[in-house]
């Protein structure tokens, strides 16, 4: 397995002078995802939880709906210049009767660590229809619960604490309990990893949970949440216009600029309840 962090020398300049010291960097390596031996996508990711990443990716593409849809997932042979396995190629074998990804899902060479849909071969393949219905969920939280979530997420970002260079995604319950947290250099990869965890744990559809992301709320993150049946997405930064439109279209709640007690409700504000309403 590749390293999660890499140590590099750095020259630090400041008002008090300069010095040299080792610095920890978040590792970034390519992962090629294959389905049935056929290359589907290459994404730049932080090594670790690769099986979850592949499951979450295929869930968000509409290929998977339960853990039973996968027969096996294994690393393929791939070696570096010293003959060691790179663990950078993962092949997923679908269960009998599960349809493989459509041609339109194939990626043009690779997806970057910041974009989960920009490599789609066809523009009309970008917007996907979920098999689950997040808009039908009665999931609701209080502002007080939402306000505590960013700090709770940060406490579980172990690699971020040493590098400052990773995004995070976490699934949470109505009382604010974080069920799972994953980190990655890519926003979409962090979400795929946490969705893959949920799929493997048999928790999909996720109509009774919310999703928190450490960065902005983009179109692809709203779409991934919708594909897993998640009714509420909260982000510590801004949403994009398409993210808001897609959340509204799917009957989802979208929260942006979640910073302490301050937050913006863009869609589905009925799921963010005052204490009295939540208790009734």
Give catalytic residue positions: 115
CA dihedral over 94, 44, 150, 221, signed as positive or negative: negative
7: tokens are 């140590």
Give dist(CA 134, CA 225) in Å, integer: 9
d(CA 102, CA 269): 35
- DSSP H helix total and E strand total for the chain: 7, 12
- Distance of alpha carbon 140 from alpha carbon 157, whole angstroms: 25
Cβ–Cβ < 8 Å for 236, 214? yes
3-state secondary structure 161-218: HHHCCCEEEEEECCCCCEEEEEEECCHHHHHHHHHHHHHHCCCCCCCCCEEEECCCEC
Paired residues of 12 in beta bridges: 19
Taking the C-alpha atoms of residue 68 and residue 201, their distance in angstroms, rounded to an integer, is: 11
Dihedral-angle region of residue 189 (phi above 0 means left; psi in -120 to 50 means alpha; beta otherwise): alpha
CA distances from 118 to 44, 98, 112 (A): 13, 26, 8
């Amino acid at each position: 397995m590749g390293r999660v962090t890499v140590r590099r020398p750095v020259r630090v300049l400041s008002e008090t002078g300069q010095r040299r010291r080792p610095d920890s960097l978040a590792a970034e390596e390519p992962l090629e995802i294959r389905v049935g031996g056929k290359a589907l996508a290459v994404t730049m990711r932080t090594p670790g939880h690769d099986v979850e990443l592949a499951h979450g990716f295929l869930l968000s593409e509409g290929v998977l709906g339960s853990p039973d849809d996968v027969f096996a997932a294994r690393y393929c042979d791939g070696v570096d210049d010293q003959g060691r396995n790179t663990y950078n190629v993962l092949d997923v074998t679908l269960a009998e009767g599960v349809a493989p990804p459509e041609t339109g899902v194939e990626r043009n060479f690779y997806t970057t660590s910041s974009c989960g849909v920009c490599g789609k071969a066809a523009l009309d393949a970008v917007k996907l229809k979920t098999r689950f219905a997040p808009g039908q969920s009665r999931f609701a939280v209080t502002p007080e619960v939402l306000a505590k979530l960013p700090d709770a997420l940060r406490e579980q970002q172990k690699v971020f604490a040493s590098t400052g260079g990773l995004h995070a995604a976490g699934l949470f319950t109505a009382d604010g309990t974080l069920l799972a947290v994953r980190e990655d250099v890519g926003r979409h990869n962090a979400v795929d990893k946490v969705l893959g965890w949920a799929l493997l744990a048999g928790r999909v559809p996720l109509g009774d949970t919310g999703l928190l992301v450490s960065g902005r709320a983009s179109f692809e993150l709203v779409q991934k949440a919708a594909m897993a049946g998640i009714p509420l997405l909260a982000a510590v930064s801004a949403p994009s216009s398409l993210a808001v439109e897609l959340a509204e279209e799917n009957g989802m709640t979208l929260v942006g600029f979640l910073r302490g007690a301050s937050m913006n409700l863009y869609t589905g504000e009925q799921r963010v309840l005052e204490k009295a309403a939540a208790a009734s």
